[in-house]
Amino acid sequence: MSFKGTATRTAAALIATGASAIALAQAPAVAPPRRALSPELEALNPPVPANIEVADERRVPAERKAAAYNDRNWSAPKTSWGHPSLQGTWSTDDMRGIPFDRPQEFGTQEFLGEQQFVERAKRQQAGSDHAANVQTFHRVAYGSRVFGFSSLVVDPSNGRTPALTADGRARAAAAAGNGSFGPGPFDTFEDFSLYDRCIARGLNAGMSAVLYGNGIVIAQSPDSVTITYEMVHETRVIPLDGRPHLADGVTQYTGNSRGHWEGDTLVVETGGFTDKTSISGGAPNTTSLRTAERIRRVDPDMIEYRITVDDPVTYTAPFTVRAIWTTQPGYEVYEYSCHEGNFAVGGGLAGERAYEREVEEAKAKGLPIPRRATMAEIYGAPQEGTEIFDINEGE
């Protein structure tokens, strides 16, 4: 296996394994003093040097460079059978730094102003430099362009996700803190998220950039399009032959999709979702969720992706998210060996049992109940005396 393949598997294990796997069994009775940011936490928001030099490709909002926006007569290349070509390896890395919901002070301002864009470009350059020169294999993936979007949500016009319904709020509250990123307790495998268990991320993969693994591979045939998301290796097969949707009651993590072409745009309508996923990590959706995606090549190196989310049981109104899938220099998609390197469930359950023993020992000795650790603590410097070991030793 290549180094990157091993590193990706290891990173999946590190991220999916929360404090439950490492810190619960070592949590001190008294909260430790506040520590400086670890290299991993600093990587998510690195300092911006005053004299930073922004690369040429980041100096202009990337959306202004798209061929379809500069030339109304531009058209996407075609497959040998005449469909617009979406094929290739793409990434959402260039969406890093764009908030899902627009900050309220922007109002209906869809794009950043000149100085606002300059500040974003500096932050992105600082992050890219930090990733290349400071971080290890477990580094944040930055793209090569900077977009001037003020948010990923573009409809409603204020760029913000509509309010939850009463039912949506109740389900959001019930789901809060679930998974290894939450406080526990961890008693069964169902206390872990689908992500922890390497099962699914849902349609979120195409909407924004996460820590790493933002690749998207599209393949086409005359009667179908497949979209494979790098992280958690989900593949959607979208028939174009006019077949009906699956029967009501048949649910899947990414739903069942049917597509057709409207000019140069692939339109994908999807229903049949389970109620075990969510959009953008918010309230769990219901089986009433329906989505409409519009996927259009707007440049040799860019695909515009729009998804309209309609779940009337969860949200008070539909909303639309826009992202741009782009090519990246030298980007390769490796096998995402999530299960093979995943210690989230086993480690989490073992960590919970260790914590329970610590609690019982403390009670027997009349000592304070040990403090539960948090997910963020696995990114900090180890506590003094903590055993350090190589989880890949022997491979």
Nearest to 100 by CA among 305, 326, 281: 281
Report, as an integer, the average pLDDT of 111-115.
96
Q: pLDDT tens digit string along 261-271?
A: 999 999 999 99
Residue with the two structure tokens 């290796």: 233
Facing residues of 308 across strands? 292, 320
Give the Cα separation of 58 and 110 in Å (integer): 19
Question: What's the CA angle centered on 346, arms 341 and 351, to 5 degrees?
Answer: 120
What is the predicted pLDDT for the residue at 367? 95
**Cβ neighbours around 323 below 10 Å, total:** 22
What is the predicted pLDDT for the residue at 7? 37
User: Taking the model in full, what pTM does it have?
Assistant: 0.84
* Burial class of residue 359, CB neighbours in 10 A (0-12, 13-18, 19+): middle
Nearest to 312 by CA among 100, 142, 164: 164
Q: Which of 77-81, 94-98, 129-133, 352-356 has the lowest mean pLDDT?
A: 129-133
Sign of the CA dihedral with 84 first, then 87, 92, and 94 last: negative
Give the Cα separation of 48 and 331 in Å (integer): 26
Cβ neighbors of 137 (< 8 A, separation 6 or more) are: 3, 4, 7, 10, 11
- Whether residue 37 is predicted with pLDDT greater than 50 in this model: the reply is no
Q: pLDDT tens digit string along 228-239?
A: 999 988 999 999
What is the predicted pLDDT for the residue at 2? 36
Please check whether residue 288 is in contact with residue 274, taking contact to mean a CB–CB distance below 8 angstroms: no
Please check whether residue 328 is in contact with residue 131, taking contact to mean a CB–CB distance below 8 angstroms: no
What is the predicted pLDDT for the residue at 391? 66
Give the Cα separation of 203 and 307 in Å (integer): 9
Q: Quickly list H helices, 91-244.
A: 114-133, 166-175
281 or 110, which is more confident: 110
Q: What is the 8-class DSSP label of residue 45?
A: S
What is the predicted pLDDT for the residue at 42? 60
- Whether residue 26 is predicted with pLDDT greater than 60 in this model: the reply is no
Sign of the CA dihedral with 118 first, then 123, 128, and 130 last: positive
**Cβ neighbours around 138 below 10 Å, total:** 17
- Whether residue 295 is predicted with pLDDT greater than 70 in this model: the reply is yes
Q: What Cα–Cα distance (Å) separates residue 220 from each residue in 78, 90, 347?
A: 11, 14, 40
Cβ neighbors of 300 (< 8 A, separation 6 or more) are: 67, 77
Nearest to 84 by CA among 92, 93, 74: 74
Instruction: Please tell me whether the peptide bond between 185 and the residue prior to it is cis, using omega within 30 degrees of 0.
Output: yes
Instruction: Please tell me whether the peptide bond between 33 and the residue prior to it is cis, using omega within 30 degrees of 0.
Output: no
Facing residues of 307 across strands? 293, 321
Cβ neighbors of 73 (< 8 A, separation 6 or more) are: none
* Burial class of residue 164, CB neighbours in 10 A (0-12, 13-18, 19+): middle
Average pLDDT in the chain: 85
What would you report as the CA-atom Rg of the chain, rounded to the nearest whole angstrom?
23
